[in-house]
Structure 1
Amino acid sequence: MMNSPLFDGLDSNWSVRWVESVSDYAIFALSPDGRIQSWNPGGEAIYGYRRDEVLGQPLDILYTEEDRSRGLPAAGLETARRTNRYDTEGWRVRKDGTVFWASMVTTTLRAEDGRITGFAKIVRDMTDKKTAHDAVLESERHFRMLVHGVTDYAIYMLSPEGIITNWNPGARRIKGYAAEEVIGSHFSRFYTPEDAAAGLPQYGLAVAAREGRFEAEGWRVKRNGERFLAHVVIDAIRDDDGTLAGFAKITRDITERAEAARLLEETRAALFQSQKMEAIGKLTGGVAHDFNNVLQVLRGNLELLEHRHGRDGWTRERLEKAIDAVERGAKLASQLLSFGRQQPLQPVVINLAPAIRGMDDLLRRALGETVEVETVVAGGLWNTLIDIHQLENVLLNLAINARDAMPEGGKLTIELSNAMLDDHYVAGLPDVPPGQYVLLAVTDTGTGMPADVLQRAFDPFFTTKPEGRGTGLGLSTAYGFVKQSGGHIRLYSEVGHGTTVKIYLARSMGTAVEPPQRTSVTLLRGAETVLVVEDDRKVQSTVVDTLSGLGYSVLKADDAEQALAVIRSGVHIDLVFTDVVMPGPLRSPDMAAQALQFLPRLKVLFTSGYTQNAIVHGGRLDPGVELLSKPYSREQLAYKIRQLLGPFTEPTRLDAQEPAARSDGAAALRVLLVDDDPESTEAIGALLKMLGHEPAMTDSPEQALNWLKTGSFDILIADLTMPAMPGIELAQKAVGLRPELRVVFASGREMPDVPGLDFVWKSLRKPYALEDLSAALEALRQ
């Protein structure tokens, strides 16, 4: 080794000691043709070969098979010959066949005349560093793949001054810019003009530089000018010495998320509103029936009093005030039912243009001269299915609200047009389907409503008017009616600029009918037989008196089962006037259906203060059903009955109903009436008076026997089944006291076969008509 050209010119002892002391490097010499001529301990440590195993061997033994096949050993020496030096890295092979990553320097050795005498080669094992380096490269590669694979986030780098230095595909997708369009420009270009002018980009960088991180949400601008809501994170990037190298910026488009959150909040609010409406609807519906029954008793009796005592001016004035108060109560109940979406509707297919134009005069009278009214109708207006009378009431209420919002006068504009509600519009409105609608818009130029008032405008009883100036049910009634009709209603208002109410009603493809004519209700009478079915005794009594006063023969029943028994008895009945909601296992609609099977020509008129979905489904009256809502006036009842039964030719003037005189000259009969049902006793007594007879009435058989001891009677009418004493037993005792007495047995059941009765008697099955009672009495007179 001392004679190796590698050490020419050097102190031989120093050279040997230096080379032999190095174990971290393989240092060896090569002949000009590439054979190993020297080998140090480092070579043995790195390659595993002893000196005697490698001296004279070609350099190829240290290369991998792949590199040898490619001629890399010779190529490296050729490069060293040409350039005097060759640096490279690559995989090399140890004696045991394992490989390691080597860093190699090959230096060409020349004589003084320039002739190549060989090569000096220094090799270092860099496997650990290679592994670490490769791990870093792999990590960077994965990071680049991650960054460039992310399309939901815009990820890019900024210089310390905010200049964009790189750009990932997610940034291109979100913001719309290609990398070459934005790299080198300032990132403030993505901010809205107002935010950029306010210095928000610089503020974000300053916070990130100071605190290491900045996070915010705000509006950003895309390449096409469209704005989107962004969630932004800016992280400061620093060198090992803490110097700020730049910023990493991550931006996410959260517009859809924010929109979804908004829609969710709107849906929650709509659900809350719906639940609130449902709760109030149940509350109002639950009390409406009883409330309207009370009003019906009041109104019926007040009208009966007015009919009898109305000639006195003082009495008439107070009766009229009382009736007016009942009407206000009825309107309040109707508004509550409308708000609760439980108003029975009778919708028809109609074109709103002629119907709304027909209200011009009514609206002008209601609004006064200081309010200008304009109606605008778009061409080709679609038809809609709606209860036009209820819609007119809603429009009138909206117009009055508008008038109150314009105390100094103004303009009311009513617009009709076609409208489309798309999926985007109805996304937060679970009860509004997309599709074609007819839009009715009512706009005023009044004071408008602030945001807090606007949010509560549809709430029942909420009003900004002074006490006594409004019930707070106008808009809530409109809301309930529109919702019950399958429509949609929205409010738009701005303080000082007025209010617009937009009502969307679903388009109907049916053929429109003509708007119904407004008819005045007149008092009409009749002489047919009406069966009144009502569980509230006070209401029943009032209706019976009202119908009797109108000239009708009246039967009554307390529930649907009793009514069906009357109908099946074969008694003649022209019309059944029945409450919808009554206790008992048999529902009124079912009773009516069975009655029509028994008497096909029978007319049925329902009445109720609350239908409870018995004859109303989907907010609409069932087909063919006639309803008179409580409370109703005597005129409305008379008109509705004649509407069903047809015209009556007798005079319409009605006098007070007094006990009728006998027209045939026959003497009035003295009748003892015994029945344990006070309501039945009262009704039969009224019938007896109408026939011109003189009834004495009691619910006590004992009292009846006492009367017979002291008084004279022609006829005994006895209920067949009484707890205190059966009717047959009473009759036997009565005839024992008065042998000339004739007897009428009355019962809701068939008369039993009772042999051995030694007196004259007839039987009537309850309920019976006036004609039946008269025939029985006349038969016993003979």
Structure 2
Amino acid sequence: MSPARPRGGRPHPGQPEVRAERMALLFRQTPIAVAVTAVNALLMTALLLHAGEPRAPAWMLLVLAVAAARLLLARAWRRAAPAGRQVARWDLLGTLAVGAAGLAWGCGAVWLWPPTAAANRLVWTFLIGGMCAGASGLYHAHLPATLAFLLGAGLPLIGRYAAEGTAEGGIAAAMILVFLGALAFSVWRSSQDFAAHVRLRLDLARQARTLDAMTLKLREAVARHHGAEASLRQAQKMEAVGQLTGGIAHDFNNLLTAVLGSLALLRKHLPPGDERMARLLDNAWQGAQRGAALTQRLLAFGRRQTLEPTAVSLPQLVRDMTPLLQSALGGGARLRSDFPPALPPVLVDANQLELALLNLVANARDAMPEGGEIQVSAAEQTVPPGEAGGLPPGNYVALRVADAGEGMDEATLARAIEPFFTTKGLGKGTGLGLSMVHGLAAQSGGRFLLRSARGEGTVAELWLPRAEASAPPLPDEPPPGPAGRSGHVLLVDDDPLVLRSTAAMLEDLGHAVTEAGSGEAALAQLAAGIPVDLLITDQAMPGMTGLQLIEAARRQRPGLPVLLATGYAELEGGMPPGLARLGKPFAQERLAAAVAERLGGDRPDPMPG
């Protein structure tokens, strides 16, 4: 009987697996079938010998030989582990072996058929019927093998009864034929149920695999979602901390401007010979300078420092910094640089990048108290559209600093770039080094990556956008300019300390100063007609910002020289090109140079916006 086919004439998708399962069942049942055959053959032979049949041993040897051949075939099947197209060949061999066993019984019954003993005939009939019923039970899933046995064992017996030509023989043949038909129908039903069961199991297995794949994808999607949420929370946290630290640093810069300005005037007017007072002033000056450096790091973390990005060659920058880096390493650690040829330049503030690299190398040194090698390298990177990570698509260069030190655990790595977080001892670190590097990378349009594991060292990568133009040679220090002429300065700042300190420094430089505590007050002074040669204004002021004041002042006094004094680049849209800026905190020397340039320049400032 041909296997069931769905509509369209094509086999069921699981038909090869069903055939393989049927064949496997056929060979697994072979030992039981052989054992039953051997026992029944021995018992029948003993009965025939008792009845005086000398040919019985020969028949028994034939039956046992067929049984032995079936065992050898089953053993070969187990060793071969057939798959694919081999299933059909082994299935055919198994069916033929079962058919041979049926023929041995059916032909034996005809050959050893007793001519007169009715009891022995009944024994043969019941024995053949029992063997057929047993084969139907053993091979219920394999219809071809069952039919082969039934036909091989039953048809000779039916033919023998029919050949007698008597009514009793015809009835016996018909009864045996009906019995075999019933067995065949029962096996056909069992075979169909077996096939349906196998297909159901296969479908369930396929659905389970599909469900597992979908579950895995869902878990990956949930993991990505959780990762994105964690990254967003971390970014929001760092943004909030950055705004807080940037605001504090800005206010602290105003205080330092007043402190540094007052200390500079005190040093300038200190009576000669007072060494004790000079030492105290020097200590105060150094403390204020350290505070200024600290606020610059805070501004860098908060991405509020003023940057002057240019095309920078990383190999050239590292070569120029090598003596400084070697000095920072001391005698324990070794520095090795490795840069590919024709590495494109990056767009970054060179001074801030030098400070960031110095911080990374110093951290690598501290991670290897027993010494070791620190590798500084770089490689081109490309971010394709749609890639996660927060970077816009484009070309980048990753500056890499790797050490083989102690490494960090997951908890430490998660907090490494937080401001003021440090694992160093008291007085050995501010906890702002990596924060500054992170802020520089973000403000420069790149990103900062840290990879580390306990006992496996740390890799720090500073991704920076690739510059389109080639890196210019590093400029020499400009010579100091002329002192410039004196003039009347309109000084605007909402902080009284900064206002008084800056006014005192300007007056000490020989300038006349008119003070204003707000933009509105400054415009009122201009409207009153006071002579003004230079407008110096803070940017972040309530009511009117410095840029708004400059625009309004230019409407009253076109071409008026201006100087914008600010603690960080808090200008939306960036600093207008060509507008002079004085960063806070500033010393009197920087203030003098900036004022001299404004008062002595022939080119007017561009209008902002």
Taking the TM superposition and a 5 Å limit, the aligned residue runs for 1:487-506 are 487-493=446-452, 498-506=457-465
Partner residue in 1 for 2:315: 353
Matched, 1:413 2:367: no
Alignment partner of 1:266 out of 227, 230, 253: 227
Matched, 1:604 2:565: no
Partner residue in 2 for 1:296: 257
Deviation at residue 400 of structure 1 after TM alignment: 2.6
CA contact under 8 A between 1:525 and 1:551: conserved in structure 2?
no
Matched, 1:373 2:327: no
Partner SS for 1:359: helix
Deviation at residue 637 of structure 1 after TM alignment: 1.6
Deviation at residue 352 of structure 1 after TM alignment: 2.8
Matched, 1:318 2:277: no
Residues 446 and 627 of structure 1: CA distance in aligned 2, closer, same or farther (over 3 Å): farther
Partner residue in 2 for 1:327: 289
Deviation at residue 624 of structure 1 after TM alignment: 3.0
Alignment partner of 1:638 out of 587, 592, 600: 592
Residues 145 and 367 of structure 1: CA distance in aligned 2, closer, same or farther (over 3 Å): closer
Partner SS for 1:640: helix
Q: Give the counterpart letter for 1:293 in structure 2.
A: N
Distance between the aligned counterparts of 1:361 and 1:616, measured in 2? 39
Q: Deviations over 1:173-211 (max 9, x none)?
A: xxxxxxxxxxxxxxxxxxxxxxxxxxxxxxxxxxxxxxx
Taking the TM superposition and a 5 Å limit, the aligned residue runs for 1:771-782 are none
Distance between the aligned counterparts of 1:445 and 1:544, measured in 2? 53
Deviation at residue 474 of structure 1 after TM alignment: 0.8
Alignment partner of 2:203 out of 143, 146, 150: 146
Partner residue in 1 for 2:237: 276
Partner SS for 1:621: coil
Alignment partner of 2:396 out of 429, 437, 444: 437
Deviation at residue 309 of structure 1 after TM alignment: 0.9
Higher fraction of helix: 2
Partner residue in 2 for 1:62: none
Residues 407 and 603 of structure 1: CA distance in aligned 2, closer, same or farther (over 3 Å): farther
Distance between the aligned counterparts of 1:140 and 1:385, measured in 2? 68
Partner residue in 2 for 1:98: none
Partner residue in 1 for 2:553: 595
Distance between the aligned counterparts of 2:208 and 2:348, measured in 1? 48
Deviation at residue 542 of structure 1 after TM alignment: 1.0
Residues 571 and 387 of structure 1: CA distance in aligned 2, closer, same or farther (over 3 Å): same
CA contact under 8 A between 1:348 and 1:387: conserved in structure 2?
yes
Residues 144 and 389 of structure 1: CA distance in aligned 2, closer, same or farther (over 3 Å): same
Taking the TM superposition and a 5 Å limit, the aligned residue runs for 1:730-741 are none
Deviation at residue 577 of structure 1 after TM alignment: 1.2
Partner residue in 2 for 1:246: none
Taking the TM superposition and a 5 Å limit, the aligned residue runs for 1:121-520 are 140=197, 143=200, 146-147=203-204, 150=206, 153=209, 252=213, 256-309=217-270, 311=272, 312-407=274-369, 409-421=371-383, 427=388, 429=389, 431-493=390-452, 498-518=457-477
Taking the TM superposition and a 5 Å limit, the aligned residue runs for 1:650-665 are none
Q: Give the counterpart letter for 1:555 in structure 2.
A: T
Distance between the aligned counterparts of 1:480 and 1:299, measured in 2? 26
CA contact under 8 A between 1:85 and 1:108: conserved in structure 2?
yes
**Residue-pair matches, total:** 442
Q: Deviations over 1:4-43 (max 9, x none)?
A: xxxxxxxxxxxxxxxxxxxxxxxxxxxxxxxxxxxxxxxx
Deviation at residue 277 of structure 1 after TM alignment: 0.7
CA contact under 8 A between 2:484 and 2:597: conserved in structure 1?
no
Q: Deviations over 1:216-256 (max 9, x none)?
A: xxxxxxxxxxxxxxxxxxxxxxxxxxxxxxxxxx9658664
Deviation at residue 280 of structure 1 after TM alignment: 0.8
Residues 349 and 596 of structure 1: CA distance in aligned 2, closer, same or farther (over 3 Å): farther
CA contact under 8 A between 1:394 and 1:478: conserved in structure 2?
yes
CA contact under 8 A between 2:344 and 2:470: conserved in structure 1?
no
Distance between the aligned counterparts of 2:289 and 2:447, measured in 1? 30
Matched, 1:574 2:517: no
Taking the TM superposition and a 5 Å limit, the aligned residue runs for 1:654-733 are none
Deviation at residue 482 of structure 1 after TM alignment: 0.9
Deviation at residue 336 of structure 1 after TM alignment: 1.7
Alignment partner of 2:581 out of 613, 617, 627: 627
Deviation at residue 593 of structure 1 after TM alignment: 2.4
Deviation at residue 305 of structure 1 after TM alignment: 1.1
Q: Give aligned-pair identity as a percent.
A: 35
Residues 570 and 366 of structure 1: CA distance in aligned 2, closer, same or farther (over 3 Å): farther
Q: Which runs of 5+ in 1 are unaligned?
A: 1-81, 87-106, 154-169, 171-249, 649-782
Partner SS for 1:438: strand
CA contact under 8 A between 2:565 and 2:583: conserved in structure 1?
yes
Distance between the aligned counterparts of 2:235 and 2:480, measured in 1? 37
Higher fraction of strand: 1
Deviation at residue 334 of structure 1 after TM alignment: 2.0
Distance between the aligned counterparts of 1:604 and 1:114, measured in 2? 133
Q: Give the counterpart letter for 1:301 in structure 2.
A: S
Deviation at residue 604 of structure 1 after TM alignment: 2.4
Which region of structure 1 is more displaced relative to structure 2, 561-570 or 319-328?
561-570
Deviation at residue 454 of structure 1 after TM alignment: 2.7
Residues 517 and 582 of structure 1: CA distance in aligned 2, closer, same or farther (over 3 Å): same
Distance between the aligned counterparts of 1:142 and 1:84, measured in 2? 38
Deviation at residue 544 of structure 1 after TM alignment: 0.8
Deviation at residue 321 of structure 1 after TM alignment: 0.9
Deviation at residue 151 of structure 1 after TM alignment: 6.8
Residues 487 and 143 of structure 1: CA distance in aligned 2, closer, same or farther (over 3 Å): same
Residues 515 and 504 of structure 1: CA distance in aligned 2, closer, same or farther (over 3 Å): same
Distance between the aligned counterparts of 1:489 and 1:438, measured in 2? 12
Distance between the aligned counterparts of 1:115 and 1:292, measured in 2? 123
Distance between the aligned counterparts of 2:547 and 2:410, measured in 1? 47
Q: Give the counterpart letter for 1:143 in structure 2.
A: L
Q: Deviations over 1:399-427 (max 9, x none)?
A: 33333334455443322332234679x53
Partner SS for 1:437: strand
TM-score after normalising by structure 2: 0.62
Q: Give the counterpart letter for 1:536 in structure 2.
A: D
Residues 647 and 555 of structure 1: CA distance in aligned 2, closer, same or farther (over 3 Å): same
Distance between the aligned counterparts of 1:421 and 1:550, measured in 2? 53
What RMSD in Å do the two structures reach over aligned CA positions?
4.1
CA contact under 8 A between 1:372 and 1:411: conserved in structure 2?
yes
Q: Give the counterpart letter for 2:356 in structure 1.
A: V
Distance between the aligned counterparts of 1:513 and 1:600, measured in 2? 36
TM-score after normalising by structure 1: 0.50
Partner residue in 2 for 1:774: none
Q: Which has the higher contact order (CA 8 A, sep 6+)?
A: 2
CA contact under 8 A between 1:443 and 1:501: conserved in structure 2?
yes
Residues 115 and 308 of structure 1: CA distance in aligned 2, closer, same or farther (over 3 Å): closer
Q: Give the counterpart letter for 1:563 in structure 2.
A: A
Which of structures 1 and 2 has the bigger CA Rg? 1
CA contact under 8 A between 1:442 and 1:501: conserved in structure 2?
yes
Q: Which runs of 5+ in 2 are unaligned?
A: 1-154, 603-609
Q: Give the counterpart letter for 2:228 in structure 1.
A: T
Residues 382 and 262 of structure 1: CA distance in aligned 2, closer, same or farther (over 3 Å): farther
Q: Deviations over 1:584-604 (max 9, x none)?
A: 2x3321221233344443332
Partner SS for 2:514: strand
Residues 482 and 298 of structure 1: CA distance in aligned 2, closer, same or farther (over 3 Å): same
